[in-house]
Amino acid sequence: MSAFTVPQTAGGWATLGLAIIITLLGLPLVYMGAELAFLGGSWYYIIVGLAVTVAGILMAMGRVAGGMLYLAAVAFTWLWALWEVGFDGWGLLPRVFGPTLLAIGVLLSLPVLRRIQNARTLNVREIA
């Protein structure tokens, strides 16, 4: 059985598109985060980059865990941003705006991910 399934609905295609975008945003975070950490900078970017990349892959596989992992990465991002700049709105904006917008998309895709995951579970039970 394949880990990936072809989406059957518009919501499934939108979720797959979001998963691809999240994965493609996570990969440069890992690479550039590793460069930054090597130079003595913050490890935040490599940690969040890995989490976001794995989250995108899991979402593309139709796993709810991918969505939850992305939301956890965004929560970590908010904590890091507050630690970095405090409650300065202009300082927070570039750090949390994009990830928070994507988090809204992930929240909207959770029912689709649940439906895909439940359908896969039912198919496995029928085969066994």
- 71-124 pLDDT, tens digit per residue, is 999 999 999 999 999 999 999 999 999 999 999 999 999 999 999 999 877 765
Cβ neighbours, 10 Å, residue 59: 30
Quote the tokens at residue 82. 């507050």
Region at 6 (left for phi over 0; alpha for psi -120 to 50; beta for the rest)? beta
Which strand (E) or helix (H) includes residue 65?
Answer: helix 64-85
Q: Chain-wide mean pLDDT for the chain?
A: 93
pLDDT at position 58 over 60: yes
The span from the CA of 123 to the CA of 117, in Å, is 10
**C-alpha–C-alpha distance, residues 127 and 49, integer Å:** 37
Residue type, 55: A
What is the residue extent of each domain of the chain?
10-127
Q: Which of 90, 95, 94, 80 is nearest to 42 (CA)?
A: 80
Rounded to two decimals, what is the model's pTM? 0.90
